[in-house]
Structure 1
Amino acid sequence: MSDVRERIAGARSIVVKIGSSALTDLADGLDTGRLDRLADALEARMRAGTDVIVVSSGAIGAGIAPLGLKKRPVDLATKQAAASVGQLALAHAWGTSFARYGRTVGQVLLTADDISNRAHHANAQRTLDRLRSLGAVAVVNENDTVATTEIRFGDNDRLAALVAHLAGADALVLLSDVDGLYDGDPRRPGPDGRPARLIPEVAGPEDLDGVIAGSGGALGTGGMASKLAAARLSADAGVPVLLAAASDAAQALTAAAVGTVFAARSERLSARRFWVRHAADARGRIVLDAGAVDAVARRRRSLLAAGVIGVDGRFFDGDVVEVVDADGRVHARGVVAYEADDVRSMVGRSTSDLPADLRRPVIHADDLVTV
């Protein structure tokens, strides 16, 4: 067994994300039989001494059938209506299933704003920690009933990776309708006529060369592209990832001998730098000339006013902004030291030409994270 699989198998705390397709179908909505089997596997892992947080998709999918809808809704209002019905059913189903083992379930509904806002972030962290200390199972879902396009995580794979960081988990397990990462679509042969090949382990970006990732299915919003993005995000947090089929949950949650594993980066990003790169909302953009891009993104220098050629958006001292080149490509994110109007007044000026109160870097190197 590889070191990564051993690390996941022996993790003392894990986040397990379960996809919509593993819990629901269009015809009948929530499948409590499948949910019970997943709860059985989760309970076995908890009885082995592991703290488990569940990130459960399926709220919208669970609301489709009761509302008489024929397909997953595409407009925001109907999605929110389906989620309001489905969240109740989903929480009740998890509670009923874990009650068979005498466990209490606590529902935690989050929006992206709860992660990007430092105060909300801390509150969510305390809630998850306290639920675990009280022996309850935290079941996390995106709060689809109130989340708008602007404040959505986008999919529960990303949410799960952020929760893994938030909770300080040792591993992340993504369970869905796919049994691992393939170098192509496993449902059809590639251009050369050969079937797609399962990739058992991803040690770094070079292992993803030539991999084609697709979007989600009828019931979900994720797909392989979102799972790869979540795995990269999780790696930045120092958390290894296992991607496996929900039907293989028992094996995934014991020896981790199925699916694809993703190694974590050797140096875990600090909580602040992780927040800047992945969790915080960017309030604006600062546009740099080519020399400043090189200094900031490649040589990890502080951003000085002389390299700034433009400012977009309205932001204030302490906000996170994107650092982009003249073509709009994002090279870094950072915590800006001035409000937008001050930065506009500083564009292209050398430090010695600025008033004394504007001579600090626009973004200090310690507050910059390349992307």
Structure 2
Amino acid sequence: EGGDRPAEDLGAGRPSSLPAEHAHGLFEPIVTYPLFESALRHARGLDEAQQRAQLGQLIAAMSAVAADNPYAWRRDVLSPEAALSEAGGNRIITWPYNKCMNAIAGVDMAAAVLLTTVGEARRQGIDPSRWVYLHGGAEANDVWYAAEREDFHRSPALAAAGAQALAQAGIGIEAIDRFDLYSCFPSAVTVACDSLGIAVDDPRGVTVTGGLTLFGGPGNNYSTHAIAEMVARLRAAGSGYGLVTANGGYLTKHAVGIYGMAPPAQPWADRDPDAAQAAVPLDRHPRLRDPVGTEAVHIEAHAVRYDREGPATGVVVCRLGDGQRCLAQAGGDSALLHRLAHEDCVGIAGEVTAGDPVNAFRFA
């Protein structure tokens, strides 16, 4: 219960999803990020067992970091098998993600980052051994509405932001000693790894906190915690570089920061904040069409929402014959839901039928 001051939009000033996206469930990250996961599986040519094994290994590795972090919300060490098991309340939320693969946002956490000049640090008497320098930074957005992206398994904006930040720092990705990649869901981590040119199982790791699914975080302010922990890790090591990524929306808004113990070769200078954005094509992508008729389509991404009883609703992103996209749901047919959950259905033909408020999907 607060005051009567009018709400103020501190964000981008526009909705994060289109009306059709909202109606079909894409306003919920627990739906949208599993859709990205289906596209990643297809792009990598994985079968279900391979996909699930990689998810289990990623969460297990992140849990080991969280277990050693006294600030982590969840400090259980999970084996890959435990991450994939539904025991102990670790049920499926949206296939293929168990509960432990979903961000923990309901936390009581706070973090702060203070920046100043070298001159001011000296005047304040701060020990130079504690100084951590910002070496590079960049930000860029992908196509704003998730359903209108050119594809769903990569991020041109994050790739561009990473390249610009590294260029400003004057180093290559091989010089980075530790990473914290925004980790609300596994697909966000995988897309970030691909964008930066590293493997998901890179020996340097993908998190210094334990990640959003285990360390937790107050929404996308998680990245403030990641920066704070990166500073602590760099101070403890006494040398090296760290890279932190941030994400807003549905893999929509991206930022990259590179931090190091040694002073930059060149002093921080004004940079073009739009340089990375200029490298992202925002004008050539399919548009979401709504309404539709009864039309032939092929699938480009798919996910299945679960309730406590099992598979409940399929969500499908489809390409129409005219090159535009549409969204649809599927429910009430256990065989259809099983196929959407467990098979790689990207590229498979189907049919959508207009509905109010959601379209219906069936396989051709």
Task: Please give the TM-score of this superposition, normalised by the length of structure 2.
Answer: 0.27
Task: Please give the TM-score of this superposition, normalised by the length of structure 1.
Answer: 0.27
Q: Which has the higher contact order (CA 8 A, sep 6+)?
A: 2
